[in-house]
Structure 1
Amino acid sequence: MIKSTIKWRKEFKIDELLKEDFGDDLEKMVFMHGFSKEGHPVCYNVYGAFQDKDFYQQTFSDEEKRQRFMKWRIQLLEKSIRNDQRLWSDESDTIRSLNSSLHVQLGWFKSHLQSLCKHSSDCKHKLANALFIIETGGNDFNYAFFQQKSLQDVQQMVDEVIQGITSAVQEVISSCATQVVIPGYFPIGCMPIYLSAFQTNDLNMYDELHCLKRLNEFATFQNDHLQEAIRKLQEQHSKVAIVYANYYNALRELLKHAASLGFKKDEVQKTCCGISNNEYKFNMTSMCGYNGVPVCKHPYERVSWDGVHMTQHAYKLMARWLLKKNIIHGISTRV
């Protein structure tokens, strides 16, 4: 079998295939994103895309187009496999295990405490000034959206995700935490990964910042429910500073004043590390870190680093806003 595979790869000219440019029109149908609990790259097949008859004809109407699709699909898988091998090389031992859910991270934390503290009073002293940040389920929603789940289906996940967050907060408080920050959900409708995936010609779907309204409405829905859960936690633990970090407003404020903050006005929603023909320079099949994906010369002029994360300059400005307008005040009024 191995000999046959090697022969096929040679005849198919895999290395040459990797250099071919098939455009980015097919990425809506099949794309790689993230990893499974076992650490394997995940391939998403969006069969609903074939409901668009024009797209179906454009992709499969003749033998040449079918061959193009097959080559594109093989290129996608090959790129993902090679990128995965790079991630799992001996030089990257620190990311061998990608099973890093909130529950797993709490296990790591507890294990660390056992090595750090001899007894509970010792932990209480050492953690007196520690600041805990509990993330809020972003990947749960990301994977759901990119599996083409409806907005209503994703909204039904919110209560379960928030339950996981509140349980984590309860656990760190039981371990002597006295200051906990719980970030809200970003305005995902402003991010290149979502803007490119859900791009539409209907201008009514966008707001004044060219962000997708419905996706930001979901983010607001999630954040409203999260803040209600935080209020209940504050009532239960009056001696603990539990603060909501308003990531949503922090990023929106940055985008509103992007030009005056030093960002290039016409490149605010373009990735710095990315490649694509679309206006966001984001391609799910050729993400930052893949071979041949370029990096912009001046990252401080961009808000988005790779379509999913911000640049260091953007994070720095957001952190300043959060500390000044939100976190420090929230902690000081409750301690």
Structure 2
Amino acid sequence: MGKPFFFLILLCFFPSHPASAQHYNALFNFGDSLSDTGNVVLAGLPYGMTYFGHHTGRCSDGRLVIDFIAEGIGLPHLPPSTANNTNFHRGANFAFIAAPALPFDFFHQRGLSHGLHVNASIHEQIDQFQKLLPSICGSPQDCKDFLSKSLLVVGEFGGNDYNTGLFGGWSITKVTSFVPHVTRVVADGIETVKLKFIIDGQRLIGLGAVDLIVPSVLPVGCFPLYLTLSDSSDPAEYGPRTGCLRKFNALAWYHNADLRRQLDQLRKKYPAVSIRYADFYAQIFDFVTDPLKYGFKAGALRTCCGAPGMSKYNFNLEAKCDQNGSTVCSDISAHVSWDGIHMTETAHRIIARGWLSGPYVNPPILSSPAS
């Protein structure tokens, strides 16, 4: 298989008693391809076909979870932070396709830096956020007041860190050793902005952010990319109820458990700040175990935009979603998987509903978070 094809598919890889959602000043987002709205634009149509009618940099046929969150709290879709001549007073999106949580040096020291495609770690993104803030809200005190009525979504982060190791030839056992580093740097990102060459860093919370949503990583063992590349004849490799690859989901589960531990520590340290966990993992598992409940077809984790007949998951790295040899299914809304690793607009809409109204964010976004 050609490496260019392989890497391209991976790339498009509050106050303590805040007011109700419609009173949020702004929405700010940090993350990777699950939430990038145009900082990196790699693919053309059919990406974007369902809602926008043209490609926007979103790795889906339409809107993402962050788009539906914005709509749900009465704010416009987030402009990418790199956009020129743009007003960011209602929010900005700092997510980059292929962004890892960890910095370049972590991978460079392990001989894995060739697998990185952007220099957009969580601290790089928060650095850009801090630099942009004065143009949005003015003085530090004005910004603190502004952010106290804004919502920040920090993640998903981690998927690209683990992919860099896995697709760099490391065993899943060795890659699992990344987990404490990744979850610590996510917690660090919430608490501390580590600016290069500046000793006296700032804090997201210290800047005035008091309402944060922190998503888990996905159960990637349920996605066609991994199911195809790690196809096994051993039934013990797969979950009996889901058909998902156990080893990849075990890695994701470990990450999420450690992330929750880190968030619990931050809540104890900052009891007046709402830091809510968004459970991507459980939502996708629900889609897999009971697809018909959500309007998906049985076996909905077949890729919608892919190469028909190339595998039982409708996925082939040599004919990825926007390349010749790939077609789009006629029933996009009946699918969870759009291109093998990213989801359809329908899946994003259902996930966002679980964050806005529950139960996958607790308390839901459209309620007052616990003080």
Using the size of structure 2 for normalisation, the TM-score is 0.64
Q: How many pairs align?
A: 261
Decide whether the 8 Å contact of 1:250 with 1:322 is kept in 2: no
Counterparts of residues 172-321 of structure 1 (less than 5 Å): 172-207=204-239, 208-266=241-299, 268-275=300-307, 277-321=310-354
| SS of equivalent residue, structure 1 residue 326 | coil
Q: Which structure features the higher share of helix residues?
A: 1
| Higher RCO, Cα 8 Å, sep 6+ | 2
Q: Could you say what secondary structure the match of 2:138 adopts?
A: coil
Task: Report if aligned partners of 1:271, 1:280 keep a CA contact under 8 Å in 2.
Answer: yes
From the superposition, tell whether residues 202 and 142 of structure 1 become closer, same or farther in structure 2 (CA, over 3 Å): same
Measure, in 1, the Cα distance between the counterparts of 2:282 and 2:245.
15
Deviation of 1:163 after TM superposition, in Å, equals 2.0
Counterpart Cα distance in 1 of 2:207 and 2:247: 39
- Whether the aligned pair in 2 keeps the contact of 1:254 and 1:318 (CA below 8 Å) is no
Q: Tell me the equivalent position of 1:164.
A: 185
What are the within-5 Å matches in structure 2 for residues 27-66 of structure 1?
Answer: 32-34=6-8
Distance 1:84 1:133, change over 3 A: closer
Q: Deviations over 1:240-284 (max 9, x none)?
A: 101111111011112222113221214x12111111511111112
**Which of 93, 113, 133 pairs up with 2:133?**
113
State the Cα deviation string for residues 95-115 of structure 1 (Å, max 9, x = none): 999433222211221121021
Q: Distance in 2 between matches of 1:35 and 1:279?
A: 18
Instruction: Name 1:124's counterpart in structure 2.
Output: 144
1:304–1:311 Cα contact (<8 Å) kept: yes
CA distance in 1, matches of 2:150, 2:8: 31
Q: Does 1:152 align with 2:184?
A: no
Give the deviation of 1:84 after TM superposition. 6.8
Q: Describe the shift of the 1:285–1:147 C-alpha distance in structure 2 as closer, same or farther (beyond 3 A).
A: farther
Q: Structure 1: which 4+ aligned runs deviate by more than 4 Å?
A: 83-87, 91-98
TM-score for the superposition, normalised by structure 1: 0.70
**Which secondary structure state, in structure 1, belongs to the residue aligned with residue 129 of structure 2?**
helix
Following TM superposition, by how much is the alpha carbon of 1:30 offset from its aligned partner in structure 2, in angstroms? Answer: 8.6
Larger Rg: 1
State the 1:86 CA deviation: 7.6
Question: What is the distance in 2 between the residues matched to 1:330 and 1:173?
Answer: 20
Instruction: Give the conservation status (yes or no) of the 8 Å contact 2:9–2:320.
Output: no
RMSD (Å), alpha carbons = 3.0
Query: Is the Cα–Cα contact under 8 Å of residues 336 and 346 in structure 2 kept in the other structure?
Result: yes
Instruction: Give distance in 1, aligned partners of 2:328 and 2:132.
Output: 37
8 Å contact 1:241–1:330 — kept in the other structure?
no
Letter in 1 for 2:216: G
| Distance change (3 Å), C-alpha of 1:85 and 1:307 | closer
Q: CA deviation at 1:330?
A: 6.2
Residue in 2 that maps onto 1:72: none
Give 3-state SS (helix, strand or coil) of 1:160's partner: helix
Shift of 1:317: 1.1
Matched residues in 2 for 1:160 and 1:154: separation?
A: 11
Q: CA deviation at 1:143?
A: 2.1
Kindly report which structure 2 residues correspond to 1:81-92, keeping only aligned pairs within 5 A, or say none.
Answer: none
Contact 2:237/2:247 (8 A) holds in 1:
yes
| % same residue | 30
In structure 2, what is the equivalent of residue 334 of structure 1? 370
CA positional deviation for 1:235: 1.0
Letter in 1 for 2:177: Q
Structure 1: how far apart are the matches of 2:256 and 2:130?
28
Q: What 5-or-longer segments of structure 2 have no aligned partner?
A: 13-40, 46-55, 58-81, 84-95, 98-116, 192-202
Q: In structure 2, how many angstroms separate the alpha carbons of the residues matched to 1:199 and 1:102?
A: 32
State the alpha-carbon separation in 1 of the partners of residues 44 and 333 from structure 2: 27
Equivalent position of 2:16 in the other structure = none
1:220, 1:84 → 2: CA distance?
30
**Matched residue, 2:93:** none
CA distance in 2, matches of 1:85, 1:211: 28
2:145 aligned partner, one-letter code: H
Q: CA deviation at 1:31?
A: 5.5
